[in-house]
Chain A
Amino acid sequence: MKERLGYRLPFVLLLILGIFMAAQYYIPHPMVQKPAEMMIQWKQPLNAFIIFLALFGLAAMHIRKVIRRQRRWGYSVITLTSMVLMIFVGMVWGTRHGTIFSDLFKHVITPIEATMFSLLAFFVASAAFRAFRARTVGATVLLVSAVVVILGLIPAVEDLCPPIARASDFLLKYPNTAAKRAIMIGVALGAISVAMKTILGIDKTILGRNR
């Protein structure tokens, strides 16, 4: 009995709260909006707890790797050292601008992320090279369209060859927008469907239950 209650309670809560949160989108009355806002605010402490849990899990995993001397355990030592260092400097000297924590973030994390971001340019080039090989009719149409759009976006082409600029504008404005909107309609329907399946307990994924 207890197990059944434990199994069903999350679904009952999901049903009640799911219907309430869907309805509040259409009801602006404070009697509905205030509890909805309060529930959204509950996410903040929950999120903090979840992040703590995730960090704990991450640290535990790397500690296990080091203790068991698993393959590439050296990376785990670096991760754990960095984690402890950042927590230590953050707790001792604070995290505000100008502190060691802030400087480490600014001079280590930010450049690393910027480096990863800048790599995108090369990845875009290599992906484009593969995509634009005119092997099939579809790929050829894609190639021609891409060339027209790229040329049309060059400022000088607008003066030198107005038809290309117009063709580029047409491709972006009409076929591209139409396709995007079609996909967005499908995505919206799919999202509503997933939401309804979850609220009605047909889909139990969100609670970690298998199908």
Chain B
Amino acid sequence: MYKIYVHFHCPMMVLFVLLAISPGLSAHGLVPARNVIAQDEPDDGGGVIQVRWDMSESDGVARYEIIRTKGAGAMEGIAVGVRNGAQDSFLDEGEKHAIENGVDYRYVIRAVGADGRIADSEPSAQVRASASWLDTTLAANMVAVIVFAAMFFVLVMRGRKGKPLYIRPIDALEAMDDAVGRAAEMGKPVFYAPGLHSVTQPATVASIGLLSRVAEKSARLHTRIMVPNYDPLTWPVAQEVVRRSFIKAGRQEEYDPDDISYLTSRSFTYAAAVAGMMAREKPASNFLFGHFYSEFLILAETGAATGALQIGGTDSTAQLPFFITTCDKTMIGEELFAAAAIVDNDPISRSTVKAHDWFKVALMVLIPAGIAVGMLADFGMLEELLHGLGVGDPAAVASGITEALGGGR
């Protein structure tokens, strides 16, 4: 710089020459960001553009302002975001100014120095946001669901033909009838809690399925059944199921709608109310099926203290230890769903349980295979193996497999 100054004897001339010989240098000496790339964000509903750039080579860049221009020839842009001097990407979600799908946009990155100098980058190529018809990030999930659905349909078809299917007996399910029988012998009521989730949730649907079995058995044995509800939507469904069960058993005159009541939608208030009912009524058998939270232990321990036989089942992994501890028989996880299908004597419904088993077998093969492939990739042996198997471009395939496995770790 000094030499140039000496040679030209004029600082303005030096600056002019520097600008001429260095196209990347701004008029104020700050090097702008380069290679601005704007791309439509994939796998979304549109209206989002991802912008990346190579950071300025100058020191002292305080921030980058992201400027969006609309249309091919537009000169005026709007600032849509700011990134600090160490960041080189921005996701324009159109928070301040919405991005229209199918419209051309360009981006300019403005480097702003700590001393206020600015340098604009070359604009990016035109980019257009678009909405996707398929979220490819969920491809593995979708394939798994399709495979499961295929197994489901095959087995349902087999069920329709009436082919016999072996289903492993579930202890807790077999004990249900005995528990109702116990209540009938003792002349005490049966207590049924359908969980804290709404009837729109699978665990509650399964629980209501089991309720129909318990209610019908209770009706046949002239035993009172009490169903306190937490969810206002589950309550009328439970009431209708119990009413129909009593009709099916030919004991409609014994059905009391007040026994299938809505209590409250606050979990500990519900626990207090149900624990109080248990202490007063002293039911012979308690059925606790569905999704519960921490209040479950209050219900189950109170039930155990009153000497009731308790049968439970839940899909909540957090509450399962408490179920196993406090209940005489427990349905663990999927057993709850399987039991709901088994109690239904319909062969189609029963055959759906088989679909779980088939898919689990497939998973039992795939999981160790995935572990083995992952280990081979970690030890760098996957590429060699693929090469040995005659796979074209083994490096790319190995990289793809490693990336796919890495996503799941």
The answer to whether B237 has its CB under 8 Å from any CB of chain A is yes
The answer to whether A26 has its CB under 8 Å from any CB of chain B is yes
The reply to whether B149 and A196 form a contact with Cβ atoms under 8 Å apart is: yes
In the complex, chain A residues whose CB is within 8 Å of the CB of B321: 131
Stretch in B3-11, B130-138, B173-181, B378-386 touching the partner:
B130-138
The answer to whether B355 has its CB under 8 Å from any CB of chain A is yes
The answer to whether A84 has its CB under 8 Å from any CB of chain B is no
The reply to whether A194 and B206 form a contact with Cβ atoms under 8 Å apart is: yes
A55-B236 Cα distance, complex, nearest whole Å: 12
Question: How many whole Å from A211's CB to the nearest CB in chain B?
Answer: 4
In the complex, chain B residues whose CB is within 8 Å of the CB of A134: none
The reply to whether B232 and A194 form a contact with Cβ atoms under 8 Å apart is: no
Residue of B nearest to A125 (CB): B301
The answer to whether B222 has its CB under 8 Å from any CB of chain A is no
Residue of A nearest to B145 (CB): A192
In the complex, chain B residues whose CB is within 8 Å of the CB of A209: 240-241, 244
A185-B366 Cα distance, complex, nearest whole Å: 13
The reply to whether A211 and B344 form a contact with Cβ atoms under 8 Å apart is: yes
Residue of B nearest to A207 (CB): B237
Q: Is the interface of A mostly helix, strand, loop or mixed?
A: helix
B 18-49 contacts with A by CB, 8 A: 43-46
The reply to whether A127 and B325 form a contact with Cβ atoms under 8 Å apart is: yes
Given A58-B262, A113-B268, A183-B332: A208 and B240 within 8 A (CB)?
A: yes
The answer to whether A112 has its CB under 8 Å from any CB of chain B is yes
B 385-399 contacts with A by CB, 8 A: none
The answer to whether A54 has its CB under 8 Å from any CB of chain B is yes
The answer to whether B142 has its CB under 8 Å from any CB of chain A is yes
The answer to whether A87 has its CB under 8 Å from any CB of chain B is no
Cβ-neighbour of B363 out of A33, A124, A185, A202 (below 8 A): A185
The reply to whether B245 and A210 form a contact with Cβ atoms under 8 Å apart is: yes
B 161-178 contacts with A by CB, 8 A: none
Contact with B along A168-205 (1 / 0, CB 8 A): 00000000000010011111011111111110001101
In this complex, the interface size class of chain B, counting residues with CB under 8 Å from chain A, is: 35 or more
In the complex, chain A residues whose CB is within 8 Å of the CB of B142: 26
The answer to whether A30 has its CB under 8 Å from any CB of chain B is yes
Inter-chain pairs besides A53-B232, A183-B332, A211-B346, 9 sampled, C-beta below 8 Å = A26-B141, A54-B232, A61-B258, A112-B272, A113-B269, A116-B268, A127-B300, A206-B237, A211-B349
Selected A-B contacts with CB under 8 Å, 30 pairs = A26-B141, A27-B133, A28-B135, A29-B131, A33-B45, A72-B280, A113-B268, A116-B295, A117-B294, A127-B325, A131-B321, A185-B363, A187-B334, A189-B359, A190-B334, A190-B356, A191-B203, A193-B152, A193-B355, A194-B202, A196-B352, A197-B341, A197-B349, A202-B156, A205-B205, A209-B240, A209-B244, A210-B241, A210-B248, A211-B209
Q: Which residues of B contact A (CB under 8 A)?
A: 43-46, 131-135, 138, 141-142, 145, 148-149, 152, 156, 199-200, 202-203, 205-206, 208-209, 212-213, 216, 232-233, 235-237, 239-241, 244-245, 248, 257-258, 261-263, 265-266, 268-269, 271-272, 280, 294-295, 297-298, 300-301, 304, 315, 317, 320-322, 324-326, 332-334, 336-338, 340-341, 343-346, 348-349, 352-353, 355-356, 359-360, 363
